[in-house]
Amino acid sequence: MSGAKPFDWRHTPGLSAYTALIFLFFYAPLLILVIYAFNSSRLVTVWAGFSFKWFVAVANNGSIRDAAFNSVIVAIVATIASTAIATAGALALERGRLRFGRSAATALIAMPLVVPEIVVAITTLIFFSGLGMHHGLVNLMIAHTVFCIPFALLPIQARLRDMGGTLEEAGRDLYADEWRLFRRVTLPLLIPAISAGAIMAFVVSLDDFLISMMVSSAGSTTLPVYIYGMMRLGVTPEVNAISTILLAVSIVFVAAALLVGRRNRFA
């Protein structure tokens, strides 16, 4: 076959167009939501000019503000608790000597990722009601801490594995005790990964819907649960606006986690 182009396995005809279509499938619906959120018409699908008024309406809605406040409080507590627990767990898994129970520990920590959300939601509901615990936000904080642990743990564990133990060994050679070693060597190296894990935990907590819906009670509605209630009543510009805000918050936080996590490699 003289004159034929040299074979390039990295190039499959039509594949880039196909991939572009899949990415369109991922992102076009989100873009449509954002565009509608800026539509001044109450009839969502009829374009009547650019407007911020639905965002103003959302900001002035007391119930939405209360729900957002609940969401943020729960997310902050769950983030702090789960990141602390996950940091300790990651250190044990990567630096400790687990003579037995390593696979059991790994499996247990992966449980929140494996068990379907609806099952977690109703079993947690059963657990709290069986104990007679009706503490609204506290119940939510506990439930969120549990499913945030694996998300906070993964980046920290990956970082510990990547950086190896050489710097810690050097510290040990210089007679640093375990606590000083952690304070002066391991922790500073881990800070970017811990921050990335914490941001991920925060996003996961803020976005959770199903578990929050089943566990929350009248006074402890979170933002996604409130938005779901609005959606059930129909498509409105307010729903588009508040959904767009939540979308923007997630994207900003995930991008931040990525940037913080990347700084790792140059540390």
Partner 1 sequence: MGPNRTYLLIAPAMLVIGIFMVLPLFLAVAYSFMTANPYGGVTAPATFDAYLQFLYQRDFDDSLVFSPSYALIILRSIYLAIATTLICLVLGLPVAWYIVCQTPERRRVLLFAVTLPFWINTLIRTYCWILILRDEGLANGALRHAGIISDPLPLLYNDGSILLGLVYTFLPFMVLPIYSTLERIDPRLIEAAHDLYASRAAVFRRIVWPLARPGALAGATLVFAPALGSFLAPDLLGGGKKLLIGSLIQMQFTSSRNWPFGAALSTVVTVVVLTVFVIRSRRAQEERR
When binding is defined by CB under 8 A, the residue of 23, 50, 175, 266 that contacts partner 1 is: 23
Of the candidate spans 59-67, 68-76, 78-86, 190-198, the one that interacts with partner 1 by CB under 8 A turns out to be 78-86
Q: Whole-number minimum distance, CB 2 to partner 1, in Å?
A: 15
Q: In the structure encoding, which two tokens stand for residue 219, read together?
A: 């006074």
Q: Under the criterion CB under 8 A, does residue 115 sit at the interface with partner 1? A: yes
The pair phi, psi for residue 39, each rounded to 5°, is -85, 125
**Which residues, at least 6 apart from 231, have a Cβ–Cβ distance to it below 8 Å?**
239
Q: Under the criterion CB under 8 A, does residue 224 sit at the interface with partner 1? A: yes
Of the candidate spans 48-56, 59-67, 190-198, 207-215, the one that interacts with partner 1 by CB under 8 A turns out to be 207-215
Q: Under the criterion CB under 8 A, does residue 96 sit at the interface with partner 1? A: yes
Which of residues 73 and 213 has its CB atom nearest to partner 1 in the complex? 213
93: nearest Cα among 81, 83, 84, 103: 103
Distance CA 180, CA 193 (A): 20
Window 27-56: residues binding partner 1 (CB under 8 A) = 27, 29-30, 32-33, 36, 43-45
How would you class 134 by CB atoms within 10 Å of its CB: exposed for 0-12, middle for 13-18, buried for 19 or more? exposed
Window 116-135: residues binding partner 1 (CB under 8 A) = 116-127, 129-130
Q: In the structure encoding, which two tokens stand for residue 103, read together?
A: 């696979």
Window 235-264: residues binding partner 1 (CB under 8 A) = 235, 239-240, 243, 246-247, 250-251, 253-254, 258
**What DSSP element (H or E) covers 143?**
helix 137-163
Q: Under the criterion CB under 8 A, does residue 266 sit at the interface with partner 1? A: no
Q: Under the criterion CB under 8 A, does residue 176 sit at the interface with partner 1? A: no
Distance CA 250, CA 82 (A): 19
